[in-house]
Amino acid sequence: MTVSVDGADALSGGFADPPIDAARAFRACLDVMARPGRIAELGGAVPPAPLSVAAGTLALTLLDGTTPVHLAGAHDTAAVRDWITFHIGAPFAGASEAAFAFGTWDALTPVDRFAIGTPEYPDRACTLIVECDALEPRGARLSGPGIKDEAFLSLPEVAAFRANRALFPLGFDAFLTAGTRIAGLPRSTIVEDV
């Protein structure tokens, strides 16, 4: 393994106290997935660019050797691969086999490449981690489970999430990350343009 010298080398940037850091990180992930539209702070990991702090922390919290991971577009770098291999040990996979996929929205599209589960096992679906420039509580209108009345979230696109909702109970689930911020968008959420 080559170790770079720019400070974000593969061996560093993990959790300082894995059980506690992962517990707090999971609660943030659970909170935003259970309440679409809510934006939480998520930190603890220092992953190599272009992986955001929130996406790297989520990876350390949820991924392991049993979860095939897909790195899309600019996220598929040697530094990111080395970091994931050292800290997580997750196997790398193509889009259709991935349990988790990281990338910008442009790199992840077309999203119909990802697993949406089967009618008898809808849980066997991919979770997309969509890296965004910013996350704001305005934009597309969200409603459905986890949302009292309505919520708003800056989404990279509406049509793809509407099509995903139409597949329910199948479909992918998404986390949106920007820096140290994270939001969740499960397949159950109804997304509308405003």
Partner 1 sequence: MTDQAYNFAYLDEQTKRMIRRAILKGVAVPGYQVPFASREMPMPYGWGTGGVQVTAACLTPEDVLKVIDQGADDTTNAVSIRKFFQRTAGVATTEATGEATLIQTRHRIPEAPLTEDQILVYQVPIPEPLRFLEPRETETRKMHSLEEYGLMHVKLYEDIARHGHIATAYAYPVKVEGRYVMDPSPIPRFDNPKLSDCPALQLFGAGREQRIYALPPYTQAVSLDFEDHPFEASKAPHDCDLCGASDSYLDEVITDDQGGRMFVCSDTDHCRCRREAGHVGRLGTPITEGVS
- Binding region for partner 1 (CB under 8 A): 18-20, 22-24, 26-27, 29-30, 33-35, 61-64, 66-67, 119-123, 125, 127, 144-148, 168-169, 173, 186-188
Q: What is the dihedral of CA 49, 68, 177, 167, to 10 degrees?
A: 150
Please list, in sequence order, all residues whose beta carbon lies within 8 angstroms of the beta carbon of residue 6, skipping any fewer than 6 positions away.
Answer: none
Smallest gap from Cβ 190 to partner 1, in A, equals: 11
Smallest gap from Cβ 41 to partner 1, in A, equals: 14
Give the residue with the Cβ less far from partner 1, 120 or 133.
Answer: 120
Give the residue with the Cβ less far from partner 1, 79 or 108.
Answer: 108
Give the residue with the Cβ less far from partner 1, 64 or 192.
Answer: 64
Smallest gap from Cβ 32 to partner 1, in A, equals: 10
Smallest gap from Cβ 116 to partner 1, in A, equals: 11
Give the residue with the Cβ less far from partner 1, 67 or 154.
Answer: 67
Give the residue with the Cβ less far from partner 1, 147 or 160.
Answer: 147
Smallest gap from Cβ 40 to partner 1, in A, equals: 13
Between CA 160 and CA 118 the distance in angstroms is: 19
Buried b (16+ CB within 10 A) or exposed e, 81-92: bbbbebbbebee
Phi and psi angles of residue 182, each rounded to the nearest 5 degrees, phi first: -140, 145
Give the chain's largest Cα–Cα span. 51
Helix axes 18-34, 53-62, angle to 10 degrees: 100
